[in-house]
Structure 1
Amino acid sequence: MNQTDLQYEAKTSFFRTLWFKPNKTTSPDLIPLFCDCIQAASSRTKEYLLFSDPESKFHPSSSALSEIFLMTYIQRSSQLNLTNIFNCTAMTPEQKILLGASWVWAVLDQPSKNPKIQIAVQVFHLPERTEGNVEELSLDIYREIMRMAGMEVVLRTQAERMVEFCASVGRDCYALFMFFGRKNDEGNIYGLLSNNLHAAVGKCVQIDQVFIDHFFKGAKCFATPSGMLQAVVGKEGDDPLTMLVKFT
């Protein structure tokens, strides 16, 4: 079986029909407040995704776009006091390299404030927006961090490191890969959310941007951000959950 067959097998096995019930322990304000913050962050980021400098002097980098989204989201969530029930934690450079995530969203348990559901987020950009050799530099730093910690270096892509991090936490920790623009649709933001991608690890399939993008091929229906969060907080048991989301 070649890699294409493995990718197709992985894709078809991950998607399940979603049936969920509202979780009574979750604040009824969570989902609309979250969607308000996502709309603000996505709209601001989309302005820069679609911006075209007539003189071709200004080109927002991939890191700048990620920071615009995250900073806008954090500002709006603070204004709405969402942080009391839904936290957002930006990773340090070291955490980003080791865990693969840029930030982590968490549904907080009341009144302990401990995270009961987590969504680790990694952002993908169009190749022409991505700084050269970013992954290679990250791997070099990753090796150095592991050496200093006296731990074995296990080479993984950044996507694989995040998938393994989520799997180590459990089924209530989801990996969310966000695409800031896709081929033939550079102005919109999409995402793949899953708590089951670790099933592909060790099956001769490299989990990277190409692998994740394969899930979108032929897709015509996408969940909304509210549908994504409703599915996450309403899911019961340890069943796998994978879904495609459109944020703009």
Structure 2
Amino acid sequence: MGQTISKPTSNPSQSSKFFFSLRRTPTSQPTVDRNISPRQSIFSTLRRPPVVKPNDFIPLFNDCISAASSRTQEYLLFKDPEDKFHPSPEVLTQVFLMTYISQSVCLNMTDTFNCTAMTPEQRILLGADWVWAVLEKPTKNPRIQIAVQVLHLPEREDAEENGVPSEACSESVQMAQRESSNRTVYERLVDFCTSIGKDCYALFLFFGKKNDKENIYGVLSNNFEAAIGKCNKIDRPFIENFFKGSRYLHTPSGMMQAIVTKREGDPLTLMIKFS
């Protein structure tokens, strides 16, 4: 009478295969494109490119000074067996300066630390053979200046003065000599640096001293004008006297480090050995 409803027969083997397949189906993963470069670690963003420090030129400056001093010493040490070759003070100064400039250009440091050679007229009026300058970026204005005057052994200077007639000088040089005749060459350099301020240093560079004719020394200061205020005459003996009480001689890099780290307006006087 009633309708018989038939139940589907379950196949145990099919059922087990179905649940087994659910357990073993791997989760879907995105495909990896081998051409895409791996993502950088978050820690890599913490590393910053090295910042150029304003004093990075100091080792390069030291290399330039070393090359110039070594080259100049070759002439200071040379003894001509025939006694015909006598390099003049002018030649020695040019050898040092040209070697320094060539090396500084090779090391690409002229945008940070500049060197300006003086004209003959400027050398007479200002008392400087050249001027070094630490430059600001990006203006390239001089932040610190070092006016350099080269001092030679007295016998070399006397020989040059006796060998060059005054009429050989140009008219402009003779005018500069008359204009500055009331001051010594040492005082002209000090006056020049004083007119600029405490960030301008006078450096007297000795190509040989009385007790050591084969090495190069220097006396640097931004406070020589204090001697003028005490009515002391600035001459060669006055400058050489700084070495007598000196217990320590700075290296060229030590000199430059002391200059750039000095507090603005403070006086600074150093004795340096360049060779």
Give TM class, smaller chain: 0.7 to 0.9
Of 58, 62, 65, which residue of structure 2 is paired with 1:38?
Answer: 65
The one-letter code matched in structure 1 to 2:220 is L
The aligned amino acid for 2:183 is R
Distance 2:180 2:92 in 1: 30
Q: Does 1:179 align with 2:179?
A: no
Match of 1:168 among 187, 190, 195: 195
Quick check: 1:203 aligned with 2:230?
A: yes
Structure 1 counterpart of 2:45: none
Conserved 8 A contact 1:26-1:233: no
How far apart, in 1, do the equivalents of 2:241 and 2:177 lie? 31
2-side partners of 1:203 and 1:237: how far apart? 24
Q: How far 1:125 moved relative to its partner?
A: 0.6
**Deviations 1:107-152 (CA, angstroms, capped at 9, x unpaired):** 0000101101000000101111112269xx69x97772387xxxx7
Q: Mind listing any 5+ residue stretches in structure 2 that lack a counterpart? A: 1-50
C-alpha separation between the residues in 2 aligned to 1:28 and 1:213?
30
Map of 1:35-74 to 2, 5 A cutoff? 35-74=62-101
From 189, 196, 216, the counterpart of 2:216 = 189
Counterpart position of 2:175 = 144
Is the 8 Å Cα contact of residues 98 and 142 (structure 1) preserved in structure 2?
no
Q: Is residue 117 of structure 1 aligned with residue 144 of structure 2? A: yes
SS of 2:249's equivalent in the other structure is coil
1:229 aligned residue:
256
* Alignment TM-score, normalising by the size of structure 1: 0.82
Q: How many residues align?
A: 219
TM-score (norm 2): 0.74
| Inter-partner Cα distance in structure 1 for 2:211 and 2:55 | 37
Taking the aligned partners of 2:261 and 2:52, their CA distance within structure 1 comes to 10
Structure number with higher relative contact order (C-alpha < 8 Å, ≥ 6 residues apart): 1
Change (3 A) 1:38 1:154: same
- 1 CA distance for matches of 2:189 and 2:128? 6
**What do the CA deviations read for 1:148-168 (whole angstroms, capped 9, x no partner)?**
xxxx76711111011011000
The offset of 1:201, in angstroms, is 1.3
Instruction: Give the distance between the partners of 2:55 and 2:124, measured in 1 at CA.
Output: 35
Q: State the Cα distance separating 1:219 from its structure 2 match.
A: 2.9
1:8 corresponds in structure 2 to: none
Q: Moved runs in structure 1, 4+ residues, more than 4 A? A: 140-143
RMSD: 2.4
- Counterpart check, 1:93 vs 2:124: no
Q: Does 1:246 align with 2:273?
A: yes
Mapped partners of 2:219, 2:59: distance in 1: 21
Identical aligned pairs, as a percentage? 62
- Larger Rg over CA atoms: 2
